[in-house]
Amino acid sequence: MPRVSANPSSSRLFSMASTVRAYTLPIILFAGAMYYQLFVIPNAFPRSHYDVLQIESYSSVDKVKEAYENLESKMNSAEEAFDTHEFLKIRYAYELLTNPLWKRDYDIFGIDEQLHIVESASKHYAGKHISELDFPLLQAQSGSVDHSSKVITASDFQYIFPDVKPWLMQLYSSGSENCAQFSKSWNKIASLLDDVANIGVVELGEKELAIYLADRRSTGKPFFRNGVPSLVAIPAGCRSPKCIRRFNSELTVDKVTDWFATTILGLPQINYYSRETLVPNFLGKTSHHKVKVLFFSTFGERAAPFIRQAAKDYWAFSSFAFILWREEESSYWLGAFGVESAPAIVFLKDPGVKPVVHHGSVNNSIFLNLMENNKQQELRQLRSMTSMELGCDPHGYSRAGYDTMIWYCAIVVGRPSLELNRMRETMYRVQETFSKYSQVDASSENQSLASAVDAFKRRRLTFAWLDGEKQKDYCQFYLGQAGTDHTCGQRRSATDIPRLFVIRYLRNNSAVDLRTEQKSKWKSSLVQDLISDSDLAGQFVAGYKGEDDVSQITHWLANIISDGDSRDLPFFTLRTPELVPDDTEPIWSVAAQNIPLKNLKQSILGSLSGLSIYREDPRVGPFLLLGALISLGTIWLRRSQQVHPSVPNQSSSNQPSESNQPSQPSSKMSSQDEKEQIPRNRVRSRSNKKPPPSMTDFEPSNSYQVPLSDSDSE
């Protein structure tokens, strides 16, 4: 049956589509090059004010005046219609380039912050004669640039690298109206950063220094991305220009201080919380041992840098939060924390302890004084970082000193719960009772508590609480299996039972010296490690089984201490489990180390802004065109060298077609034939090649075959 040939037009369209797909890259590059040369470059390089006046760039003021007078006389004498917009551009260029400060800023850095006046004046004076125009167009700055910061010169700058404190510098121009308006905001920024950074200003008249601190275009010309004023930060320890950071956002006090505190100082941000989110998102998630510091703000501004520095320095003791003050919620905050108005600072300590409230604004010194007085909870938590300080570690000493042989540590342990909070409040009352009695002379009312009061006064008695859920091994070591279900480890039941126990520590110096001597005799590292891991102080533990009552607990403690001081108990040591260590760094610091970019958003925006400089590079268009030509030649060369399919064998035409084969093999046989067909095709394709010439390819005419003697044909 004859084959039906395909439609020529459809095959031609298919070939054209494949060709277009193959040359997609050079087409795109060529289109980009044309767009860049025809549209981007003309807009990126408009006519300069010198071109408007038809004079050379950087011409002197006298030449500017002469050029303006010539153009003005030509326009007045011209017979054709007067072009107001063109004359206003000439007048603007004349006024700008005859002002020494404006001309300096325009020639060196391309600063032209009043260009919008031309468009507004063109609309205002449309259709009017030159004699009806009001001049001058440009007004000098209305106010002076008032800075109380240090003025930095080129000679001063060489002594800045490196510095212990970071620097924040403002580059300004004495002839800029924007700089004059920014003066008040700058002075406020300087006051907020005064304790954490050095502040200085650089006038553009310091030409070499200003060029050094400015950005650079692709052509090498210095410029300021957002004009002046421009802010530059130099981190502490900076030794090269690569570490200099430039602020490219909106110039507000809040944004500048936040950028400097976050990017340069590496300080944490302090979040705002509302009445609804304060408890679940802040109080419920912060560590139980930390004091909660709440700032009530009137306007919702960000935390000042000195507050954020305090949050970094006191992160092991306190957690910080901001709350926006609303008058409609004033009664709630008054009842909850005793806050009457904003601004205010609240320190939340132990359960049952009255919050400490400070009303009014604070500076750095006042706030640091408040933090030092309120950074600790009244009943401190026993942790790996505080065990030595509290005197509740058998490897350490008493708070009373190294010479104290016997001391005590009363510990409340339990899982974090309301029951534990109530028990902590009770123990705080017990601690207050001993503190009150220790400040007065002994009397008949407290004779029964004399031993405990004396131990507390001499710092031989310490109160603390322990997180039984986190410190499971430590908790079970002292309470045994009895405290596993309701006190230690993960919560297994709905009932939480906090427990109170007292540890009596006994330090026997002679026994410790004997152990040290034995350790020196044994050379085995294993024996030395076993001796080193054992406790240095002997321990006796007494558990409280009474009611949750302040009076009963105080008398029970007094009896324990009196008995412990009078009885001669034997000295023996154990191996107390280690407390689970706390995080050595805050969460925000650990996250910053795990993520290479401290601020991903700012880094991406900075990279994009850096690439935007090359948008005006005149070399981009030729490079795109060159790339289009190279890709075009490469694709054409590859397509021309493609291997075409080989011509089929002539011998194959003599073979009978498949339609003449009468056999219908089974599926098993067909699969076997397919497997055998592959090597046959390979052999056949090799036989199609022309073999090399050989002496047996032809037979001479006078040749004959020599008969063999042992031949069978006779």
Q: Are 107 and 58 in contact (CB under 8 A)?
A: yes
**Can you tell me the distance from the alpha carbon of 552 to that of 544, in angstroms, rounded to the nearest whole number?**
10
How would you write 169-222 as a 3-class SS string? EEEECCCCHHHHHHHHHHHHHHHHHCCCCEEEEEECCCHHHHHHHCEECCCCCE
* Angle between helix 8-22 and helix 24-35 axes, rounded to 10 deg: 60
- Taking Cα atoms as reference points, which of 425, 277, 266 lies closest to residue 354? 425
Instruction: Give residue 159's pLDDT.
Output: 82
Q: What DSSP letter does each residue of 248-300 carry, written as one string?
A: -S---HHHHHHHIIIIIS-PPP--EE-TTTHIIIIITTS-TTSEEEEEEESS-
User: 273 burial class (0-12, 13-18, 19+ CB within 10 angstroms)?
Assistant: middle
Q: What is the set of domains in the chain, with CATH numbers?
A: 49-132 (1.10.287.110), 150-264 (3.40.30.10), 272-374 (3.40.30.10), 387-566 (3.40.30)
State how far the Cα of 334 lies from the Cα of 355, in Å rounded to an integer: 11
d(CA 522, CA 268): 51
Q: Terminal CA-to-CA distance of the chain, rounded, Å?
A: 57
Residue 198 main-chain phi, psi, to 5 deg: -90, 140
Are 263 and 305 within 8 A, CB to CB?
no
For residue 597, the model assigns a pLDDT of 42
Report the distance separating Cα 384 and Cα 47, nearest Å.
71
- What is the mean pLDDT for each group of 10 consecutive residues in the chain (714 residues)? 57 80 90 86 82 94 95 78 84 95 95 92 85 85 73 88 88 93 93 91 94 88 92 90 90 94 92 95 91 95 92 92 95 95 95 94 94 94 91 87 91 93 94 88 66 93 94 90 79 85 84 49 46 71 92 94 87 81 59 43 55 68 88 89 54 43 45 48 47 50 54 43
The predicted pLDDT at position 228 comes to 94
**Burial of 187 by CB count in 10 Å (0-12 exposed, 13-18 middle, 19+ buried)?**
middle
For the four alpha carbons of 231, 153, 155 and 159, in that order, the dihedral sign comes to negative
* pLDDT tens per residue, range 330-385: 999 999 999 999 999 999 999 989 999 999 999 999 999 999 999 999 999 999 88
**Residues near 373 by beta carbon (within 8 Å), at least 6 away in sequence:** none
Cis bond upstream, residue 343 (ω within 30): yes
d(CA 484, CA 465): 17
CB 385 within 8 A of CB 316: yes
Q: How many CB atoms lie under 10 A from the CB of residue 675?
A: 9
pLDDT given for residue 79 in this prediction = 60
* pLDDT score for 16: 82
State residue 417 phi and psi, 5-degree precision: -165, 175
Return d(Cα 362, Cα 379) in angstroms, integer: 27
Residue pair 145/174 in contact (Cβ under 8 Å)? The answer is yes
* E strand or H helix that includes residue 461: strand 461-467
Overall size of the chain counted in residues: 714
